Amino acid sequence: MIANLCPNTTGTTTGSIGDYFKSFKPTDPSTDLCSVVQFLLSVIGIALDLGGIIAVIMIMYSAFLYMNTNGEETKAETAKKTLLWSIGGVAIIIMAKVIIAWVQIKFDH
C-alpha cells in the first residue's frame, strides 16, 4: 500500500483492526505515520464493507416491500424509491473502493 512511505510494511492492506494493533510498535518512530495511515485505511475499509452489507440488506428489504404492495401504488412507489437509493448507495461504495485502490496504487509507484 504505502510501501514507499513505510519501509517496515509489506505492501498489503488486508487484515483487521486486531492485526493493526498486533503489529503496532510505539517505540519505533519510523512507523508512527505509517501506523496512523494503516489504521485509517482499515477503518475506512471496514466502514465501506459495513455500508455494502447495509445496502444489500436494503435491496432485499425493498424487494420484500415490493412483493407485499398488494396493488397499492403508494407502497409500490416507496419500494421503488428504496431500491433506487439502495442501488445508488452500492454504486457510491464501489466508486469509493475504486478511488481508494487507485490512490494506493499511485502511492506505491
Using only the alpha carbons of the chain, give its radius of gyration. 20
Q: What is the mean pLDDT of residues 89-105?
A: 89
Could you write out the DSSP letters of every residue in 6-32? Answer: -TT--S---S-HHHHHHH--TT-GGGH
**pTM exceeds 0.85:** no
Domain boundaries, the chain: 17-108
Helix axes 73-108, 32-67, angle to 10 degrees: 160
In sequence order, which ranges of the chain are alpha helices (DSSP H)? 17-23, 32-67, 73-108
In angstroms, the CA 99 to CA 90 distance is 14
- 57 — pLDDT class (breaks 50, 70, 90): very high
